[in-house]
């Protein structure tokens, strides 16, 4: 096997070789591949194409074998030293400001606690419920109409009650709608708490306007396929307005909460509560925390 030498070693050492031997170029692998291509192409054309492919494949195998055995075919290549100098136009090195006790940096560095997401979700749930009930009173003539429609998302019997029954109160539909509304709102609020720190500029615009519009379009598409009957009862203009109201209110509530350092930025020993030298940040007096 030939020894690889750097340009400096070639220039400085008088005994360094001026040329090396490398495997010689060969066309037989291409002939072999072309032969196999014709061999299989003949299965959908004519047998003559397969016969030609078989001949080329055998010739490629024999030719390639003779390039390696009994002796490898090699060619001599002269060594041309190159003087490579690495330069840069930067005069200073920019470094990411990371605390000494942090082993890695995850972005965002600060995020909202779980309680902030739950508070934002519940506040958004109230805003969305107010707007949905306003739609029921102004457009449908009954405050129970949007509640029965929400329950119909998981309780299909609500749609089987008949048009007149959708405008009246039903205890089972009300309980289902209330539980479903609170659970989904809390989960979406948690998602807001995790997403808003990622938006450096105008988080309320992205999280309160664009995100509700996107998932409203997604729900419209999915519901039209999964449950067309339910989709036909929904006023989508009011639906999008209620989602936007939820997003804006939840985003404002979450954004007003105090942030905390992302736990992923801390070493595992600190997250596990292990007291190890060099892992715990120093106190104000300069001593390591105990």
Specify whether 59 is located in the same domain as 115: no
The domain in which residue 169 lies consists of 110-261
**Domain harbouring 43, CATH code:** 1.10.287
Cβ(203)–Cβ(211) below 8 Å:
no
pLDDT in tens, 238-273: 888 888 888 888 888 887 888 776 666 555 565 566
Specify whether 122 is located in the same domain as 252: yes
Look up residue 288 and give its DSSP letter. Answer: B
d(CA 26, CA 20): 18
Question: How many structural domains compose the chain?
Answer: 2
Specify whether 25 is located in the same domain as 129: no
Burial zone of 285 (CB within 10 Å; 0-12 exposed, 13-18 middle, 19+ buried): exposed
Specify whether 65 is located in the same domain as 141: no
Residue 81 tokens read as 């030293």
Residue 90 lies in a domain: no
275 Cβ contact list (under 8 Å, min separation 6): 289, 290
d(CA 38, CA 66): 23
Residue 19: phi and psi, rounded to 5, are: -155, 155
C-alpha dist (Å) from residue 12 to 17, 63, 79: 12, 42, 14
Residue 198 lies in a domain: yes
**DSSP-derived 3-state class of residue 110:** strand
Specify whether 160 is located in the same domain as 231: yes
Residue 267 lies in a domain: no
Residue 175 has pLDDT above 60, yes or no: yes
pLDDT in tens, 89-116: 777 766 655 555 554 555 566 777 878 8
Q: Is the pTM of this model over 0.75?
A: no
Residue 132 lies in a domain: yes
Specify whether 118 is located in the same domain as 212: yes
Q: Which one has a higher pLDDT value, 96 or 138? A: 138
Residue 16 lies in a domain: yes
């Amino acid at each position: 096997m030939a020894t690889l030498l750097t340009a400096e070693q070639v220039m400085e050492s008088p005994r360094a070789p001026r040329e090396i031997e490398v495997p010689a170029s060969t066309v037989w692998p291409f002939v072999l591949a072309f032969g196999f291509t014709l061999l299989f192409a003949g299965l959908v054309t004519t047998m003559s194409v397969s016969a030609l492919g078989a001949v080329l494949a055998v010739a490629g195998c024999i030719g390639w074998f003779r390039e390696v055995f009994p002796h490898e075919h090699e060619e001599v290549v002269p060594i041309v030293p190159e003087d490579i100098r690495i330069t840069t136009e930067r005069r200073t090195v920019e470094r990411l400001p990371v605390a000494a006790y942090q082993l890695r940096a995850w972005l965002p560095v600060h995020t909202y606690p779980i309680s902030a997401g739950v508070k934002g979700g519940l506040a958004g749930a109230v805003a969305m419920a107010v707007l949905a009930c306003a739609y029921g009173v102004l457009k449908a003539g009954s405050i129970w109409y949007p509640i029965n429609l929400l329950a119909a998302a998981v309780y299909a019997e609500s749609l089987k009650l008949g048009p007149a029954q959708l405008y009246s109160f039903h205890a089972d539909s009300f309980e289902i709608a209330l539980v479903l509304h609170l659970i989904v709102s809390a989960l979406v609020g948690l998602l807001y708490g995790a997403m808003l720190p990622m938006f450096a500029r105008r988080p309320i615009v992205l999280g309160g306007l664009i995100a509700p519009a996107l998932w409203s379009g997604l729900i419209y598409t999915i519901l039209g396929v999964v449950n067309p009957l339910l989709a036909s009862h929904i006023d989508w203009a009011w639906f999008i307005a209620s989602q936007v109201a939820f997003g804006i209110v939840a985003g404002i509530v979450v954004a007003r909460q105090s942030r905390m350092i992302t736990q992923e930025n801390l070493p595992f020993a600190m997250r596990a509560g292990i007291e190890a030298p060099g892992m715990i940040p120093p106190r104000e007096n300069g001593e390591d925390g105990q």
